[in-house]
Structure 1
């Protein structure tokens, strides 16, 4: 069995939402925890994982995480995104993993089965350097994306891919374009903040440096595409709750509602 490590990149200096990992979110039964706590709970619920660690540049996040029993790896402040932070955290793990999972700190609603789907996609194909996940956007999620676009907010990310499950492009715009007042001809795929890499892919990513499209869209995964590496995309069934990430302060009540909705489901989160 491959050795799997989950790294949770958690940056305090977020441009859109400074201090986001420590923002309190009210979940089910009046339970309130910081965003990083909810994400840690999601990571440790995944079966078959050898190691889980928070990777951060900030002592406030590190102190909070350590006080709650989380493993912490300090990483440089100059890491420009979660993938670079995962690469920097590799040397702080107990052992070199075969596959590294990047479970982004603002995505606490990801179910364990989706994490396993991305891991299994990489494990099954020795030629696949990395993979990510997507779900068909529900009408509610698509409406949320469209509302963000109308108000000039940067919301979730969408992806289009080949019939073979390789990414063609990722964008913070809604792709493919859905004309106003029409239903999409095919499901809009909501990209999920989740990646699985081989360690060599992380090293190559850092060596390549930031790419033009990555800078323009603000999407780290575009560096792989511009380098000619097509990420695998595991298209997963959407869970019974909406996978809303905490990208902006206005997302907070939406994420809290979905945390409560997830707890009401008969199947484990």
Structure 2
């Protein structure tokens, strides 16, 4: 099965304009743009047939081609990364069995997250969309709660049923728990990792559906599938000692740089 990774990269982010070109210092102090670090994460995944950066901005195109990425230009009207992936696939002429959306704000995504996501979709032939979830330990959960207390939108959480089909995704911390957890203690809260794997048929249909109230309120693109009653498979992955975080706000830069230093990633 041919697999394509698309990295959607939009300059005009509402919360953080120019985010794909923000530079992050690695372990040695070497600075690379967010989009470059996301691209390097994508090309490190075994078994992938092609990796492209999808953008509507000439500055991002110039930067991406400068570090060797293949770029697909998409329209400014794409409402989110899924729509941009859909347009990129159409521009490339199809020919792929699975399309992975590795969002351009997730440079710490380990290769095995994507491998297990693709394997999960392959193992469920009736599934149209899959996304990874990571069980929070006490440290991660407390970080989420601290962000919310400070009025910051941190990571996204997910709840799912016994069949691992998603029930809901939220920027709030769900499910609610009154218990206090030690830093290394596992919790019932799952961090939604911003990666998606789609069947081309579902990806092609997505832009034709209207944005529903839940997607509009939460600002989470995957809710459009749930509002259209299209199941989203949650694939549980393990950190294996790696830290994971997405760059959502300017305050996240120092957090991600600290993680890069801790992991020895240059």
Deviations 1:219-244 (A, max 9, x none): 00000011111210111112323211
Q: CA RMSD in A?
A: 1.6
Deviations 1:202-258 (A, max 9, x none): 112111121110000000000001111121011111232321110000010101111
What residue in structure 1 maps to residue 43 of structure 2? Answer: 44
What residue in structure 2 maps to residue 182 of structure 1? Answer: 180
1:201 partnered with 2:199: no
What residue in structure 1 maps to residue 214 of structure 2? Answer: 213
Residue 178 of structure 1 deviates from its aligned partner by 2.5
What residue in structure 1 maps to residue 86 of structure 2? Answer: 87
**Unaligned 5+ residue runs, structure 1?**
none
Deviations 1:1-33 (A, max 9, x none): x00000000010111111000000001122210
Structure 1 runs of 4+ aligned residues shifted over 4 Å read: none
What residue in structure 2 maps to residue 171 of structure 1? Answer: 170
**How many residues matched?**
263
What residue in structure 2 maps to residue 124 of structure 1? Answer: 123
Deviations 1:108-152 (A, max 9, x none): 111111101111111122210010001011322212211110011
What residue in structure 2 maps to residue 248 of structure 1? Answer: 249
Q: Tell me how far apart the structure 1 counterparts of residues 194 and 262 of structure 2 sit (CA, whole Å).
A: 20
Residue 260 of structure 1 deviates from its aligned partner by 1.9
What residue in structure 2 maps to residue 76 of structure 1? Answer: 75
Query: Secondary structure of 2:240's partner?
Result: coil
Query: Secondary structure of 1:249's partner?
Result: coil
Q: Tell me how far apart the structure 1 counterparts of residues 137 and 260 of structure 2 sit (CA, whole Å).
A: 17
TM-score by length of 1: 0.94
Residue 71 of structure 1 deviates from its aligned partner by 0.3
